[in-house]
Each structure stands twice: as structure tokens, then as C-alpha cells.
Amino acid sequence: MSQTAFVRPGLSAAQMERESAAQRRSNWRSWLIGRPLSTADAPHQAIGKAIGLAVFSSDALSSTAYATQEILIILAMAGTGALANAWPISLAIVGLLVIVTISYEQTIHAYPSGGGAYIVARDNLGTFAAQVAGAALLMDYILTVAVSVSSGVAQVTSAFPGLFAYRVALGVVLVGFVMFVNLRGVKESGLVFALPTYCFVALMYATVGVALLRHLTGSLHPVADAPPLEIATTRSLGLFLLLHAFSSGTTALTGVEAISNGIPAFKQPRSHNAGVTLMWMSGILGSLFLGISYLAGVIGAVPSERETVISQLARTAFEGRGVLYLAAIGATTLILVMAANTAFADFPRLAALQAADGYLPRQLTYRGSRLVFSRGILVLAFIASLLIVVFQASVTGLIPLYAIGVFLSFTLSQSGMARHWWRSSRLREGEEVKERGSVLRHDGRWPAKMAINGLGACITAVVTLIFATTKFSSGAWVILIVIPVLVACFYAVHAHYKTLAAELSLEHFGPPPRVDRHRVILALSGIHRGTLAGLRYARALSEDVTAVFVSTEPEVSAAVQQKWGQWGAGVRLVILNSPYRLLIEPLVSYIREIASRSQPNEVITVVVPQFVPHKPWHNLLHAQTALTLRFALMFQPGVVITSVPYQVGTEGL
């Protein structure tokens, strides 16, 4: 540690700062996730456009692997003849993608420090809208992990049907893998996932390109040995079914907002790099999605849980399950697993923002040793794994819960941006207003920008309503309940922090009352060296010391009295006989009785001795009575609890 202390300007000589070189000790965590990084290393963890595409675009790009299939699943309810409508529905979805992309590109430049729906809604629509956006996005990120990993497992079981029975275990293992990589840091996770992302893009373009070429030359045949249609024809083709299929296909747009949330992770100039990455992502996503949807109709792909549409397309394009087919399926599986990486990059950031505002536990704001919000990463992995287990890794079962949250956040974000431009029109040229998330300035092009974001807000609001209506009975009702519950929980957490801050505030707080009397109660679990260390400490605090022992056996009580007479240094001892063999309750009752008779300005300190073995696992061999007493008394008002550890093998205090 540096021994140089210095006084910062504005501080008195009694207020000094000094640099500390203290680090966490090397342990299994350092070996597993890497050496700890200094806060000063944060700028070196920033990423460029190429790595940013891998980190923040894998969610959106991966949706090309299942969005077309989800459209076909709904259309199949009207019979195989209705599957031809997948192409025009895909065109409409890509048109929506263009509008959303342009809208978010404006958001990126207006909020260069991160313009996710939460920040935009907070600054422009108010706290309630921000918490709704936060709840919607947190749910979307959790479902992104569950859906993408389950879809990746579906690709594996399509190529190797024998693994179908192990799909849940595979899903949980894959979530754990992505969690582990993200705990190592944003830059490292980007480097790990960059190659698979570009392999997927190359192989998907190769698959679509080969299939289109064969289609143009007349050599592309319908899919051979297509799986049987497992969906019964239960409906006629009507507007409701078409809207239902459209809402299922809009899952292709999930992840578009991820780049605007992750702007701080990019290298300078952040807004420019993030905006370029967003355009790259949308171009790749739109072209692949249209190509897959068109070719699915050409080859007569059948939606099935047993074999995905991507598998049928690759098998048909490459004429069998050869090396190119396996490469395409492998790359698709990887990108689907990596889609979870987008959520692992954004969920902890969003949770940290809400926690910093006091709407989630403060612990979520802490960065781990690798400069990532490790607690948020662990929470996301746990909840997503739980969903995979509950829904048995079924993409079709999870999809109805998916996308409604992201489109709700789209609507709030674009509405907030429309108001942002309207507010900028009220400012004069050169005037600035500092906000929490950005700096509001007059923009001469505000009418056009407000129109673009306003159009995006209206369209995404309509899609949200369509999604909620068409998928309500399929499971969307769960999200419509969960989001309000989450918002209520956010406000409950905020109310706690607000109340606590008011109670701890030094405003209008006079000098604390002096201590006129200090009474010490020494809680005994036995008479040993640790007890004597506690006794020495208690007598150093006050001359008014009372030792208390809870007795459940007369023989033990007699032994304690005998030893205390020898080692107690004349300190009075109170024996509390407990005929019902309770240990904690009699002591707490005694302390409450003493506290009820305490005088004004009197402090009662309960000293709890505790011996500490040489090795941590040795604690498992002991009852830990002292520790139990400490936790039981911690919540007793008007009483100070002090634990006095005694390291076995030392001289103690």
C-alpha cells in the first residue's frame, strides 16, 4: 500500500485521502474468471463495432432461426394452404424493423451515454413510465435467455434426435456457460462470441444463397422426409389468425433496442460506433429473415418441434446432412446460445440503473472483480434456468410470453423520444438543459425527428395491442400480470429506501444525546478462553457488567457457576433456567426486560463471545450458539450487539 497521504484542496488537514493497492487474494474465482481489474482499466474494456455486433446483436440475429417457424406454426392452424402467407407477413415485419431501426438510431445520438427505454422514459415521461419500461425489459431479457437457449437446444435435437430427452439439462448447462463467459468481462465475452457470430452470418447467407441459386436454376426440390404436421387444423384463415401470425413473427425484432442500451460499452465516438453497428445488424437481420421466409414457402417447410425450419432448409439446400448442413446447424445453435449473451450484457446494466435510482436492491449496482455487474448476471442465469426447467425447454411454450415486453418498451421509448424532440423545440438556439440521461438542446430538425419517433411509437403500440390480444389465451396474460406486479415491487423497494434515508438523514438533527450510563450484558454459551476474551472486552467498556447464561440442564448450570466463580473476576452471573430447553427466547426476554427499565441516555451493549476455528469448514462441527445469539439479538431495538471473535490458537484480545 502506498504510504503517501495527501490533502485534497477543500479538505481540512484532518481529512486525508490515500491510495490503496489492496486487491482480492488469488483464489478459485480468480483462476476461473480472471484476475481482478482496476477501475482505471474500464476504458480499456470498451469494444469496437466488430465486437459490438457480436455482443449486442446476437439476440436480434438469432431470431432469424425461429421467427419464420413461429409464423408457420400459427398459419398451420388454418391448414397447409395458409402457409403461403408467411412471405407477405415477413415483408410487413421487415417494414416495421426499418421504422424501429431509424427511431433507435435517433435515440442513440440523442442519448450518447445510453438511451435505453428506461432512461428515455424516465427523462421524458416520468418515473411510472420508466418503471413500466424497466419491468418490461427485465422480463424480455430473462425470456431472451430462455427462448434463445431453448431454440438452440432444438437445433441440436433436430440434428441428433437422440438428445431430445436431455433438452432441459442441455439448456441449463448452456445458460451456465454463457453466464461464466460474461463473468469474465464484456470485452472477453465479445472476443469469445465474435467468431461464432460471423460464422453464423456467413453460413446463413451461404444457405440462403445456395437455396436461391438452386431455386432460380430449377434444381431446388421440396424438403424430403418432412416431419408430419403436428398442428391440427382448428381455425379458418381470417384477420385474427393473420394478426396472430404477425405477432409471433415480430419476435424477429427482439434485441433491436440492445445497442441503444449498451452505448457505454463502445469505444469513442460511442454514438457513431453504436449507430453504425445498429445499421449493420438491421441489414443482416432483415435480409436473412426475408430470405428464410421466402425459401420456407418454396421448399414446403413444415413447422415442427422435432425438426426446425432452419434444419429443413439447410438439409434441402445442401442435399442431405453433410458437412455443410452440420456446420449450418452448429452455427445456428451457437448464435442462439449467444443471443443469451445480449441479455447478459444488458440485463445487469438495466438492473444497476434501476438499483441506483432506488427501485431495485442496491447490491445490483456493485461491479465485480472483472468490472461487470456480476450479481445481475447471476440473478439472470438463475431465473432463466428456472424458466427452461418449468417449460421443458419448449420454444413454442415460451414464445407467447416473449416480445410483448419488448414492444411495450419500444412504445415507451419512442413516445419518450417524441416528447424529447418536442421539448427541444421549446428551447432557444444555444440553450441547454442538463438532464440525468442526456443534455437537451434545440434541434432545428425536431419536426422530422419527432414525426419519425411518433410514428414508431404509434406502430409499436398497435403491435403491442395485437400481441396482447392474439396471444392472451396462449400465455401472454402471465406477462400482463407479472409486469404490474414487478412495478409494484419496484415502488415497494423505493419506498423502503426513501423511508430509510429520511430516518437516517442529518437534516434538522441536533447533536446526539450523551451517554450517561453504559450497561453491558455478556451472553455466555459456556466458559472457555473465548468467553474470557469477551469478558475482558466487556469490562473495558463499562464497570456495570452482567453475565447471562441460559441453562437447560441443572448439571451444566452447576458446572458453569463453578467455573465462573473461578474465572469470572467477580462479575455477577445470572442463570436463566429454561425448562422447555429454549436457548434464544429466554435471553431475548431478559434483555427486553432490562431494556424496558433503562434510564434516559442509557446504552445497553450485548457482548457475544465467539471462538473461530483454524479452518472454515471446522465451523460445521460446532453448534455456533454465539452466532445464533448474535443474529437473534440484532433486531432488538435499543440494544447494541457486539461480537467478540477469539481465534483458536492465539492469545485472543
Q: How high is the pLDDT of residue 41?
A: 44
Q: Are 437 and 397 in contact (CB under 8 A)?
A: no
Mean of pLDDT values over 282-293: 93
297-322 CB burial, b ≥16 within 10 A, e <16 = bbbebbbbbebbbbbbbbbbbbeeee
Please give the Cα distance from 425 to 442 (Å, whole number).
6
Percent of the chain with pLDDT over 90: 22
> pLDDT averaged over the chain?
82
Q: How high is the pLDDT of residue 508?
A: 73
Q: How high is the pLDDT of residue 379?
A: 92
Q: How high is the pLDDT of residue 23?
A: 56
Q: How high is the pLDDT of residue 190?
A: 59
Q: Are 389 and 167 in contact (CB under 8 A)?
A: no
Please say whether the dihedral angle defined by the alpha carbons of residues 227, 230, 235 and 241, taken in this order, is positive or negative.
Answer: negative
Mean of pLDDT values over 395-418: 81
Mean of pLDDT values over 246-265: 80
Residue among 546, 590, 542 at smallest CA distance from 568: 546
With residue 593 as reference, give the H or E element that holds it: helix 584-596
Which residues, listed in sequence order, are joined to residue 608 by a DSSP beta bridge? 643
Structure confidence at residue 7 as a pLDDT band (50, 70, 90): low
Selection from 151-160, 268-277, 489-498 with the highest mean pLDDT: 489-498
Which segment of 178-182, 212-216, 338-342 scores lowest on mean pLDDT? Answer: 338-342
Residue among 413, 422, 415, 416 at smallest CA distance from 124: 416
Domains and CATH numbers, the chain: 49-415+450-496 (1.20.1740.10), 517-647 (3.40.50.620)
**Residue bearing the bigger pLDDT, 225 or 122:** 122
**Residue bearing the bigger pLDDT, 154 or 535:** 535
Residue among 271, 256, 1 at smallest CA distance from 110: 271
Q: How high is the pLDDT of residue 43?
A: 44
pLDDT in tens, 321-354: 889 999 988 888 878 777 777 788 788 888 888 9
pLDDT in tens, 429-472: 878 888 877 788 888 888 999 999 999 899 888 888 887 887 77
Helix (H, G, I), strand (E, B) or coil at 302: coil
Q: How high is the pLDDT of residue 38?
A: 45
Q: How high is the pLDDT of residue 185?
A: 64
Q: Which three cell numbers stand for residue 8?
A: 485534497
Q: Is 526 exposed, middle or buried (0-12, 13-18, 19+ CB in 10 A)?
A: middle
Which residues, listed in sequence order, are joined to residue 641 by a DSSP beta bridge? 606
Q: How high is the pLDDT of residue 144?
A: 83
Q: Is the peptide bond before 269 cis (omega within 30 degrees of 0)?
A: yes
Which segment of 45-49, 374-378, 484-488, 625-629 scores lowest on mean pLDDT? Answer: 625-629
Q: Which three cell numbers stand for residue 445?
A: 430538425
Residue 649 has pLDDT above 70, yes or no: no
Q: What is the DSSP string of 139-176?
A: HHHHHHHHHHHHHHHHHHHHH-GGGGGGHHHHHHHHHH
Q: Are 463 and 481 in contact (CB under 8 A)?
A: no
pLDDT in tens, 215-246: 999 898 888 887 777 676 667 778 888 888 88
Residue by residue, what is the 3-state secondary structure of 348-375? Answer: HHHHHHHHHCCCCCHHHHCCCCCCCCHH
Q: How high is the pLDDT of residue 520?
A: 93
Residue 385 has pLDDT above 60, yes or no: yes
Q: Which residue has the cell 434516559?
A: 600
Q: Can you give the length of the chain in residues?
A: 653
Residue 179 has pLDDT above 80, yes or no: yes
From first CA to last CA, the distance across the chain in angstroms is 26
Residue 114 has pLDDT above 90, yes or no: no
Q: Are 69 and 279 in contact (CB under 8 A)?
A: no
Q: What is the DSSP string of 250-273?
A: GGGGTTTTHHHHTGGGBPSSHHHH
Q: How high is the pLDDT of residue 44?
A: 43
Residue 128 has pLDDT above 90, yes or no: yes
Q: How high is the pLDDT of residue 192?
A: 66
Structure confidence at residue 16 as a pLDDT band (50, 70, 90): low
Q: How high is the pLDDT of residue 382?
A: 93
Name 92's Cβ contacts closer than 8 Å, sequence gap at least 6: 246
Please give the Cα distance from 304 to 226 (Å, whole number).
9
Which segment of 78-82, 268-272, 642-646 scores lowest on mean pLDDT? Answer: 78-82
Structure confidence at residue 625 as a pLDDT band (50, 70, 90): low
Residue 582 corresponds to which amino acid? L
pLDDT in tens, 534-561: 999 999 999 999 999 988 888 888 888 9
Which segment of 100-104, 310-314, 416-420, 610-614 scores lowest on mean pLDDT? Answer: 610-614
Mean of pLDDT values over 277-299: 92
Structure confidence at residue 650 as a pLDDT band (50, 70, 90): low
Mean of pLDDT values over 67-84: 85
Residue 503 has pLDDT above 60, yes or no: yes
Mean of pLDDT values over 285-302: 91
Mean of pLDDT values over 45-72: 80
Which residues, listed in sequence order, are joined to residue 639 by a DSSP beta bridge? 604
Q: How high is the pLDDT of residue 243?
A: 86
β-strand pairing of 602-612 with 517-524: parallel
Please give the Cα distance from 117 to 440 (Å, whole number).
17
Helices then strands, counting H and E runs in the chain, come out as 22, 9
**Residue bearing the bigger pLDDT, 238 or 572:** 572
Instruction: Tell me the CA distances in angstroms from 334 to 143, 145, 196, 277, 557, one per residue in order.
Output: 17, 13, 6, 20, 67
Q: How high is the pLDDT of residue 9?
A: 56
